[in-house]
Every structure is written in C-alpha cells, then in structure tokens.
Amino acid sequence: MPRTPRPIPLAELAAHLGCALEGDAGLSIGGFASLGAARPDELVFVREARLSAELAASAARAVIAPPGLDVGSRAVLRSPTPAWDFTRLVQRFAPPPRPPAGIADGALVDATAEIDPSASIEPGARIGPRCRVGARTVVASGVVLAADVAVGADCRIHPGAVLREDTRVGDRVVLQPGVVLGSDGFGLVPDADGRPQAMAQRGRVVVEDDVEIGANTTVDRATLDETRIRRGAKIDNLVQIAHNCDVGEDAIIVAQTGLSGGTVVGRGAIVMAQAGTTGHLRIGAGAFVGARGGLHHDVPDGARVFGAPAMEERRWHRTIAALTRLPELVRRVRRLERLVPGAGPESGGDGEENDGHDGDAGAETASAGDSERD
C-alpha cells in the first residue's frame, strides 16, 4: 500500500489525469490500496460492475471507476481505463525510492566509462571499460555491465542483472533482478569427429526504449548479428529468448516461455506461459499463443492457437471436447466389433470392461470421424 509524501486533494489527482470528478473535491488522499485493504484516506479503483460488492465493503472514501458504475456515496474519478489511470497516479505521487545521484563508495567503475552525473551507481555495482550510462538511470548493487555496454536514460537495472559486452539498452528500460542480456547462444555444430561443439557467438543484444524484462529472464546474444527486443515489449520472469530472436513492439511474453533461435514475434503478439517454439519461425502481429502452446510452424497475423502441437483455436476446442469422450467411444467401437464376425481383436476379449491399448486405434478412428461430424 504505497503512501504519498503529503496529503493530496482529490481535485489535484483529477487535474493530473484530466478526468471528471464527482463528489468531495477537497477530500485528501494519503495513499493507494486494493479494495479489501484500503484505509479511508486511500484511493482504490474498480474496472467493472462485478466488483461492486467488494467496493461496497471497502473502507475507501474515493475510487476511480468507469462512467456509469454505481459507487455509492464515495467520491469518484470517472475514467474509461481505471487500472491505467490508477497506475499513473501511483507512479506520479508515490514513486519508489531512488538512491542519490552519483557513484557510491564501493561501486567499481572503470576509468574509461562515461556516467551521466544524474545517474545513480550503487555500492557493489561493476561498470566495465567504455560503458555508457545515461541520465537518471539507476544501476543497483550487484549489477555487472561488461565492456562496451550502453544504457540509456531513466532506466532501472535491479540487483544481480548482468549485461554482457556490447549490449545496447534504450531509454526507460526496466530490468528486474537476475536478468541476463548477451549470454552466449546455445548454438552447437559437430566437429570432425561428430562431437557437438559450441559455435562462436559474436553478435549482440539490443533492447529498445520502454521495454520491461522480468526477473531471471535471459536474452542470448546473436551468433553474428543482433538479438533485438523492440520498443515497448513486456517480458515476464523466467523467459528464455535464444540467439537471433526478434521480439516485436508491444509484444507480451509470459513466464517460462522459451523462444528457440531465430524466432520472430510480431508487433502486439501475446505468448502465454510455458509456450515453446522450434527455431526460425514467425509469430504474426497481434497473434495469441495459449499457455503451454508448442509451435512447430508459423502463426499468421491475428491468429489464436492453443495446444501442443499448436492448432487453431476452434479446432483445439473441438479436439479437447473429443478427448473427453474417448472412453465411451472405445466401448461403442467394441460393441460394434462384437456384432461383426471377425472384426474384433484377435485376443477375443469382450472389450467393454477392458480399456487396454488394443482398442486405442479404434477409438482414435471413431473420435476423428465424430469430430468431423461436429
């Protein structure tokens, strides 16, 4: 529950957002909170009517809500995007603490590095030769910038992040703890004896403006050229992005996803948790890949795919529905086999109670046919 440095009149918050205010404009806000945990002087938000009961039970006296939503006697800021406007207020009026500008005692900064005077380099950070750190950027304790790394303005690099040599990071980038940019890609080639050997990895990673990368995510350097994360992309924790990948503008990649080498993710695409790709394929602009999706082929622009192997959404739903009917289909096929002399399995069992593998092929055939009729 972030608190504000001073009480802020609700009218000031409305002016900052440029939204309509209904109710007591002089009501002072002392912080921001969730519905269930709010104090009377804290602002909350609701996005839809299904949360009305929780709002009614909340102690908050002020709320951000969509036009037309009943909020009782509370003061309300009317917004078509309550969650986003709530976030804007928290960012503006309850920012996270930041260390003082300058290079702290205990930071190891190479003499050839260029550090903007307004940047903050915390104790224990290591800045290598010829690195550049832009204005107001915070480099936390335990961060390592290897040689020739360039980081833009207003970035936040959290503890334990490692940026390998020649990595490029734009402005307003957030790297959560443990992010690794520029590690060697997993490219193997057989030697003269057929044994796997690591192929030389001499490319780099480029992260454009307004990107956020979650904790313990790794982005491998390209073999020779660039692995690129484009403007505004948002990448969750524990994601693996292999060498030569290209993640498009405003794309979203959720936790535990793995992109094999050369994968291209289009602008605005969403890849849900634990999805995986084979290498050198394209996920189209605006496409959606469901959780645990296994991609072995390109995904067209705007398509929605699910499953492993991934398939078009409607086909996937039909397939899952058919799977739930397999036991009954097995029994139906075996009953039919008993009615046709010589059609049953050579084992001679009655089959109805025996759900062993001998009926799987028949069930698969029946299921496929049934699915085609749906």
| Tens-digit pLDDT profile for residues 280-295 | 999 999 999 999 999 9
Convert the pLDDT of each residue in 220-249 to its tens digit. 999 999 999 999 999 999 999 999 999 999
Do the beta carbons of residue 62 and residue 51 sit within 8 Å? no
What is the layout of strands, in order, in the sheet containing 114-115? 114-115, 132-133, 150-151, 168-169, 204-207, 226-229, 246-247, 264-265, 282-283
Which domain-ending residue is among 295, 314, 333?
A: 314
Determine the average pLDDT of the residues in 308-324. Answer: 91
Please count the other Cβ atoms lying within 10 Å of the Cβ belonging to residue 198. Answer: 11
CATH code where residue 14 lies = 3.40.1390.10
Number of structural domains (the chain) is 3
pLDDT at 344: 65
44 and 122 housed in the same domain: no
Q: CA 202, 267, 293, 213: dihedral to nearest 10 degrees? A: 60
d(CA 60, CA 57): 9
279 and 258 housed in the same domain: yes
Strands 138-139 and 42-45: unpaired
Q: Is residue 352 situated within a structural domain?
A: yes
In this prediction, residue 305 has a pLDDT band, given cuts at 50, 70 and 90, of very high
249 and 127 housed in the same domain: yes
Of the chain, the percentage scoring pLDDT greater than 90 comes to: 84
Q: Is residue 222 situated within a structural domain?
A: yes
Global pTM value: 0.85
Which domain-ending residue is among 314, 337, 364?
A: 314
DSSP structure string for 21-40: EES-TT-EEEEE--TTT--T
272 and 346 housed in the same domain: no
Convert the pLDDT of each residue in 123-179 to its tens digit. 999 999 999 999 999 999 999 999 999 999 999 999 999 999 999 999 999 999 999
Residue ranges making up the domain that contains 348: 325-373
16, 158, 243, 296: the catalytic one is 243
What is the layout of strands, in order, in the sheet containing 270-271? 102-103, 120-121, 138-139, 156-157, 174-175, 212-213, 234-235, 252-253, 270-271, 288-289, 304-306, 311-312
Q: Is residue 36 situated within a structural domain?
A: yes
83 and 188 housed in the same domain: no
Determine the average pLDDT of the residues in 303-330. Answer: 92
142 and 200 housed in the same domain: yes
In this prediction, residue 340 has a pLDDT band, given cuts at 50, 70 and 90, of confident
Please count the other Cβ atoms lying within 10 Å of the Cβ belonging to residue 133. Answer: 29
Residue 357 falls in the annotated catalytic set: no
Closest C-alpha among 163, 358, 17 to residue 29: 17
Q: Is residue 320 situated within a structural domain?
A: no
In this prediction, residue 346 has a pLDDT band, given cuts at 50, 70 and 90, of low
Q: Is the pLDDT of residue 343 over 90?
A: no
d(CA 150, CA 138): 13
pLDDT at 189: 92
Q: Is residue 88 situated within a structural domain?
A: yes
331 and 300 housed in the same domain: no
Q: Average per-residue pLDDT in the chain? A: 92
d(CA 266, CA 282): 7
Which domain-ending residue is among 93, 128, 151?
A: 93
Determine the average pLDDT of the residues in 177-202. Answer: 95
286 and 181 housed in the same domain: yes
Closest C-alpha among 258, 292, 287 to residue 273: 292
202 and 126 housed in the same domain: yes
Q: Is residue 16 situated within a structural domain?
A: yes
Q: Within 13 Å of residue 329, how many CA atoms lie on the same side as its CB?
A: 18
349 and 293 housed in the same domain: no
177 and 302 housed in the same domain: yes
User: Of 316 and 367, which is predicted with more confidence?
Assistant: 316
